[in-house]
Structure 1
Amino acid sequence: MYKLLLFVLLFLGTNLYSQQLFDEQSVADFQKDMNKHYADSTSSPLKKEDLKMFQSLDFFPASADFFVQATFIRTEKEKPFKMPTTTDRKPLYVKYGELHFTIKGIKCQLNVYQNIDLSKKPGYADYLFLPFTDLTSGVESYGGGRYIDLRMQESKQWTINFNMAYNPYCAYNESYSCPIPPQENDLKVEVKAGVKKFHD
């Protein structure tokens, strides 16, 4: 899972969060780089039979409706907890804060988390994890939810680009161990942005 994390964070660090306006080209570049990552046999999570047939991931069309400005609320004195995964592994996370925003007029809230072990590694002190499910989960997008990787942002207004939401590796190969989005991060809205489900 860390291979995809490294890739996504590298891209975000040089493109996404230096911008405060929606940029369709950045989304196109993200999709291109994702496809390159998945087509590469040395980094792809795809099973051998899927890799042989792979041409492209399926993405929702890029949309400014899912490039949102959220109000960030820092939550203090949170206790670390073991986040359930698709295996027996339970990595230690802590709730870092809350993000409040609207999508198409619907008020939404997501908790954003920090991985305790990862935060101790060089270059990851400001990394945050935003897992979520929404009304497309299990229909158009992966039923186990999707992830967005964030860097801590300086102001109280944070940018979330759902166009860069991606599937956990478990969506492609059940041999991986992937965090399960907490129930409180279930959005009661269709987030038609980012990567769609791989195949049934």
Structure 2
Amino acid sequence: MRTLLLFVFLVQTHLGFSQEKFNILDVIKFQNELNQEYADAKTSPLMTEDLATFKTLDFFPANEKFFVVAKFVRTKKEKPFEMKTSTDRKPMYVKYGEVFFTIDGSNLKLNVYKNIALSKQEKYKDHLFLPFSDLTCGNESYIGGKYIDLKIPKANSIVIDFNTSYNPYCAYNHKYSCPIVPLENDLNIEIKAGVKKFHH
């Protein structure tokens, strides 16, 4: 009986913390799914001429350093605002919280947002939007920054894996309207993770 209880405890402990540990298989899965989306004419944001020769997106090597368990602070009484985009479109967002974390000894903070219209759909009711830019933008990364999709955490911490950051569709095709990264989400370090800029 004692052995069984110990086994159950170990399983629960493993399951409870497994989502807060870096797993390169999760990064590979993300990359494969993104490549499949971009290779499919029905779902790809690529222009016709780029799609014809597309094989794979260019990714930074997966790096555990850019997997962080951040402190999450819910910000209440925030007023909805029109987020600027690459076109005249101005979707309504609300700042949902702040995340605090450390990379290479630098204490960093980002804001996370909720798309008001999108959150009314059952599928996206727990969806959070994390746009950011860093010192690689305009060089190895897309000049307009990158995005990460998150889910509302149940506690005061949230996993952010920059290895799963991706480019706005505008990085591939000018016909799209993409949110512009707010100035407060510009990081003064290099985040060498996720999708690199698109090379024509």
Q: What SS does structure 2 have at the residue aligned with 1:53?
A: coil
Q: Which residue pairs with 1:142 in the alignment?
A: 142
Residues 68 and 191 of structure 1, relative CA distance in 2, 3 Å threshold: same
State the AA in 2 paired with 1:103: I
Q: How many residues align?
A: 184
The Cα offsets for residues 86-119 of structure 1, whole Å up to 9 and x where unpaired, read as 0000000000010000111111100000001011
Q: Which residue pairs with 2:53 in the alignment?
A: 53
CA distance in 1, matches of 2:33, 2:158: 24
> After superposition, where does 1:1-200 map in structure 2 within 5 Å?
19-199=19-199
Structure 1 segments of 4+ aligned residues over 3 angstroms from their partners: none
Shift of 1:181: 0.6
Shift of 1:184: 0.2
State the AA in 2 paired with 1:105: G
Q: What SS does structure 1 have at the residue aligned with 2:21?
A: coil
Q: What SS does structure 2 have at the residue aligned with 1:26?
A: helix
Shift of 1:155: 1.3
Structure 1 or 2, whichever has the larger Rg, is 2
Q: What SS does structure 2 have at the residue aligned with 1:144?
A: coil
Shift of 1:169: 0.3
TM-score, normalised with respect to structure 1: 0.90
CA-atom RMSD, angstroms? 1.2
Q: Which runs of 5+ in 1 are unaligned?
A: 1-16
Shift of 1:18: 7.0
CA distance in 2, matches of 1:97, 1:60: 28
Q: What SS does structure 1 have at the residue aligned with 2:163?
A: helix
CA distance in 1, matches of 2:123, 2:178: 22
